[in-house]
Amino acid sequence: MERVLIAYYSFEGHTEKIAEEIASRIRQNGGEADLLRIRVKKEPPHAGMGKFMVGGWMALTQKDPGILNEEIDLDSYDRIFLGMPVWAGNAPGAIAAFIRKTHPQGKDFYLFAVSGGGDDKKTLSKTINNLQGNHVIKTISLQQGGLTDVLDAFVDAPVSQDLLADVQKYIDENYEDFEAEEATEPEEAAEVINAAREAMPLRDAAPSAARPREAMPTGFARSQETVYAEHASYAGSAPAAFELDEGFSELLFQLIDERGWKDADCYKKANVSKQVFSNIRSNPQYLPSKTTVLALAIALELDLDETKKLLERAGYAISHSSLADVIVEYFIIHKRYNIFEINQTLFEHDQKILGSK
């Protein structure tokens, strides 16, 4: 599990809020995030014009405000986020003082600046200069109280070349690309049908035992009945939830309950939209797309056998003639359940990403 430090200086709380949002996204992605508020001896007055005059002057002259935090060991972190407000177009002196005190070397930095709407180019560029000997991977400029959706992409770590090379090795050993041509067309058609199904408003959200189960188009996936019949052979060997002869949605919600999660814990971690998730919740006959089921399996950290069983309940299977399936299989076998890492790897291979946003 990756360890991330989010260090920030915040005078009036806006940068702190962003730091907390970053931490919660990293935790959602399965990482460990420590927040560190940089505390200083000298600050401008909190009210009146003195705030801007003194603070602006302190930032322009880069006065060292005196760091109060005790020793901070940066070496135990894989990535460091460093956040700052914009003061007179600059970073407050606390940021450079923090860098001097901790003296990072060879670390991966992600810088975020929070302004009142003004220019912050110098804020970030001067901080990058102060971080020589490290790698500044990404920077982001935000406005106080503004939208924070951009943070999703900001917090993602780029997939390492080593990981991509390892995935490639797995693909070379397992991908049966000689079948690819025949396999692509029905796969794509199934995706179109399922995407349309996901987009469709539900006509009858209430569960109804009398209503016949909707059959999947022949050739693309099997009907739910077939899946149920085949599933009987798993009884006995599978853990708790898998032993019961249930449909896709019943199994999914049982797995969520077993983990003591709320629905939101699951769909957020899976990168699945609330709408698609509530379709699954409200209509037991609703069948999500394969990429949605795989995303949910990743969020639930199922092993390969369990993933195959969950897929089967929705009428799908993992195939070695699908490049995307081989890639996802690699991550499941290696217990790397970070959906963003998987999606970046799928994207590198021009494959459809998991989830349904």
Residues near ligand FMN, by CB under 6 A? 10-16, 44, 51-52, 55-56, 85-89, 114-118, 144
Residue 185: which residues within 8 A CB-CB, separation 6 or more? none
CA distances from 90 to 59, 67, 86 (A): 6, 18, 6
Q: How far is the CB of 95 from ligand FMN (least distance, A)?
A: 12
Minimum separation from the CB atom of position 149 to ligand FMN (A): 18
CB of 187 vs ligand FMN, minimal distance in Å: 48
Residue nearest to ligand FMN (CB): 55
CB of 150 to ligand FMN, least distance (A): 16
Comparing CB distances to ligand FMN, the nearer of 95 and 183 is: 95
What is the H or E stretch that residue 4 is in?
strand 3-8
Could you tell me the smallest distance in angstroms from the CB atom of residue 353 to ligand FMN? 33
CA atoms of 140 and 83, how far apart (whole Å): 10
Q: Judged by CB, which is closer to ligand FMN: 44, or 355?
A: 44
Choice between 114 and 328, CB closer to ligand FMN:
114
Query: Considering the complex, what minimum distance in angstroms separates the CB of residue 120 from ligand FMN?
Result: 7
Which backbone phi and psi does 135 adopt, to 5 degrees?
-115, 120
Residue closer to ligand FMN, measured from CB, 116 or 212: 116
In whole angstroms, the minimum distance from the beta carbon of 132 to ligand FMN comes to 25
CA distance 119 to 38: 23
3-state class of 167 per DSSP? helix
Give the C-alpha separation, 208 to 192, whole Å: 26
What is the enclosing helix (H) or strand (E) of 313? helix 304-313
The residue (of 120 and 306) whose beta carbon lies closer to ligand FMN is 120
Q: Between 114 and 354, whose beta carbon lies closer to ligand FMN?
A: 114
Supply 292's token pair. 């949605």
Is the CB of 116 or the CB of 186 nearer to ligand FMN?
Answer: 116
Q: What is the CA radius of gyration of the chain?
A: 25
> How far is 72 from 37, CA to CA, in rounded Å?
12
Q: Residue 218 phi/psi, 5° resolution? A: -60, 140
